Structure 1
């Protein structure tokens, strides 16, 4: 008899952990297939350091073939799931349609940028969830400073040195904190720009940065942003985006060539096409992560509405901490469905949060102990080194070199704007230490 086939769709935090756990539990007993658009797992929490030039891009990518023994890697973009026939459809690396049968399915397709019906945003804003987006932003920052150096018009110079970030959650706060320092370093390399100010705006409809976190962490982040000259504007968003700048909801027009969209995420639209019950766009599952009426299908991570045992009646937040644990549990319960072990319900304990603010600054509350400054930075970096499933020595080496050498400020020119539209789907989520 042929071995059963377990198919995992998506290699974000949940999918990667599911594949890694199954490679240990079911290698040889089942064919394990992981379908993903890339051959790497992206450690998204370190993307701000890629955009600001601290880390080289490959440091945040972990090879799937190298770290998932016994797992067959299929490069493809999922576009349909046929629950009745137990088949997954995808577009392969050559752009050709293909499909695959499954006996067990783990849906871990993650989330995509949250879009809002604001004129011009789709055309002029860029998100920050993928490696190409981080590389594009890194080039874009360098390019704007270099073009400002060439500009004779003071108004154009000011516009090219103005950067608008929408969303003061984890991603937006980290991007602003890291990249404001990077642009100041770039500015100092252009004598013609002596005296020119770099302006960073961080907008959010909330009343503080990091509104999801404890107010003490929010206050720490605000102090760092203030010290670096980042202008935070609360109760404010973008009303319209153009090629020349953005009009704010207050009516003010800000001349800028840079609009960075960090307003949050939504479940992958593939979930909508399944015809299954959803909650807030996420697939309804039971406490064992199984889909009702389809016991052969499990879902985890951002795609799944997992009941939160700590908050009766609520579902778990779309965070990496939950995704990692749910991926492991989905793998255990898939193995249990074949008689290897017993089913386990989802349980979790909050480990705390960490926000890297660049330089020697961070805010963290491991096990709910509030920390700030260099101590929080050490905790944050230690957490990342423990969590990233590869490249630890290379990441640590880049951090050490950053403290000894000046950053390289060059454009690689690898990612054109058309390659990173705002609606690009992505299976990863920026969420360190429980985001």
Structure 2
């Protein structure tokens, strides 16, 4: 269940290691691609085309897996039935012997007035394309307006979240608007204002103090106002109120303040930590027969750190957990011992656009072009198909040579889309509904 980093890594390993005829493999996913999430900010800024980061499942897989185009909306572990809503709206029931839950995550939100209606996320391909159109639309509308108040609100952009997603999004889009000024001679460069805010006291604390300060310095040198210890108190269609009392004219609020496990996880009667399913070191949901969970849906113990530490929801862990889960499913089928998930951290990379980057591969701190080379080299090598690698590399070269384009492609709708519109968070069954559905199936034979 799920075609993110964890799900695709699991399927690829199952296809490679299972003997033909030994098992049937089914992948449930609403989209026919694996989204390379770390490069979404470059899609939003137009450096990469959407197709570049949508890695086709039909190319990256062998022809042994049945792909069901839909999303799991409930699972009955006792009846061993997965309830799936196909993209047509049809409900189908898939029986299973073993199920690997890798449904990923959604944008984490809070009970902030106006947030759900007026904020935009950066979690899906549609959101990245929408935000690009929206930002360029604000430049177009400000350029055409004679109302100074309207221009001020359209040219102020606020990004909430000082993690990797928020920092890279703010940096990439600020670079886009900065380069756009040569195409908008009526706009005053001083009117375009970018804000990056986070309730945490540090920017990307995982980088360490020195690299964190370096990244902060790069952003501020480029004119991005960074406010730490601050969040949003209220969000409106034309202004945003910060928790420090500031009220700013603003029509673009991008929300990247963390993630939460897929709502599918809440349909299980099993122990959870921070909304994620508790799993054993072998990635099994111990209370449920034949159920494995990984990636953002699982609170997997971090055996490297020990104690009560759990693995963070990162692509590195998802990829490796997918392979371990596949090995353990095969071991369970063959009645062999399961192995525990352990890892060695490869480091962190942060692409701030252009020649700006900070990276920490294997604990080595890098800045500038060396860091940029490591960041892009890592992302390029992590793409699953040669076609995807060729597209991304071509886009990078073309952007470096020809510069940015400022074309709205039509995703900008008359009615602004909300977070729920993009992430389908209200599509899931309750545990009681799943059990009732299973009882109906059993009664029908």
Both proteins in one fold, TM over 0.5: yes
Distance in 1, matches of 2:50 and 2:416, equals 17
Q: Verify the 8 A CA contact 2:134 2:412 in the aligned structure 1.
A: no
Structure 1 equivalent of residue 59 of structure 2: 66
Does residue 106 of the first structure (1) align with residue 100 of the second (2)? yes
The structural deviation recorded for 1:213 is: 2.6
Which of 339, 342, 356 is the equivalent residue of 1:344? 339
Aligned to 2:225: 231
1:194 Cα deviation (Å)?
Answer: 4.2
Q: Which moved more, 1:399-408 or 1:193-202?
A: 193-202
After TM superposition, the structure 1 stretch with the greater mean CA deviation from structure 2, 306-315 or 252-261, is 306-315
Q: Displacement, 1:368?
A: 0.2
Pairing 1:3-82 to 2, within 5 Å after superposition: 9-26=1-18, 28=20, 29-69=22-62, 70-82=64-76
Cα-to-partner distance string for 1:251-299 (whole Å, 9 max, x where unaligned): 1111011000010001111111111111111111111111113341111
Shift of 1:414: 2.6
Which stretches of structure 1, 4 residues or more, deviate above 6 A after TM superposition? none
SS at match of 1:208: coil
5+ residue gaps, structure 2: 426-445
CA distance in 2, matches of 1:422, 1:297: 30
Q: Which runs of 5+ in 1 are unaligned?
A: 1-8, 428-435
* Partner residue in 2 for 1:317: 312
2:406 corresponds to: 409
User: Counterparts of 2:359 and 2:415 in 1: how far apart (Å)?
Assistant: 36
Secondary structure (helix, strand or coil) at the match of 2:197 reads strand
Q: How does 1:174-323 map to 2 (within 5 A)?
A: 174-311=168-305, 312-323=307-318
Q: Please state if 1:393 is matched with 2:390.
A: yes
Q: Secondary structure at the match of 1:291?
A: coil
Q: Tell me how far apart the structure 2 counterparts of residues 11 and 265 of structure 1 sit (CA, whole Å).
A: 17
**1:368 to 2:363 alignment:** yes
Greater Cα offset, 216-225 or 106-115: 216-225
**Any idea what SS the aligned residue of 2:404 has?**
coil
> Residues 221 and 363 of structure 1 are in contact (CA less than 8 Å); yes or no, is this contact kept in structure 2?
yes
Whether the 8 Å CA contact 1:201–1:232 is kept in 2: the answer is yes
Corresponding residue SS for 2:82: strand
Match in the other structure for 1:4: none
User: Which secondary structure state, in structure 2, belongs to the residue aligned with residue 353 of structure 1?
Assistant: strand
After TM superposition, give the deviation of residue 309 of structure 1 in Å.
0.3
Over 3 Å counting, the alpha-carbon distance change for 1:42 and 1:419 in structure 2 is farther
Alignment of 1:425 with 2:423, yes or no, is: yes
| Whole-angstrom distance in 1 between the partners of 2:147 and 2:6 | 50
Report the alpha carbon displacement of residue 219 of structure 1 after superposing the two structures with TM: 1.3
Q: Indicate if the aligned counterparts of 1:87 and 1:102 stay in contact, CA closer than 8 A.
A: yes
2:125 to 118, 131, 136: 131
Q: 1:261 to 1:152 in 2, by over 3 A?
A: same
2:353 equivalent in structure 1: 358
In structure 2, C-alpha distance between the alignment counterparts of 1:319 and 1:282, rounded to whole Å: 14
Superposed displacement of residue 394, structure 1: 1.4
Q: Distance in 2 between matches of 1:195 and 1:291?
A: 54
What is the distance in 2 between the residues matched to 1:340 and 1:174? 45
Counterpart secondary structure, 1:368: coil
- The aligned counterpart of 2:429 is none
> Residue 288 of structure 1 aligns to a residue in which SS?
coil
- TM-aligned CA deviation for residue 188 of structure 1: 2.0
Aligned residues: 419
Superposed CA offset, 1:354-409 (max 9, x none): 01000011110100000000000000111011111121111111111111102211
**Number of the residue aligned with 2:437:** none
Call closer, same or farther: CA 1:303–1:195 in 2, change over 3 Å. closer
- Classify the secondary structure of the residue corresponding to 2:215: helix
Deviations 1:133-159 (A, max 9, x none): 000011011100000011101221121
Distance, in Å, in 2 between the alignment partners of 1:426 and 1:350 is 33
> What is the rounded CA distance, in whole Å, between the counterparts of 2:200 and 2:98 in structure 1?
42
Q: Does the Cα contact within 8 Å between 1:158 and 1:196 map onto a contact in 2?
A: no
Question: Are the counterparts in 1 of residues 77 and 289 from structure 2 also a CA contact under 8 Å?
Answer: no
Alignment partner, residue 94 of structure 1: 88
User: Structure 1 length normalisation: TM-score?
Assistant: 0.93
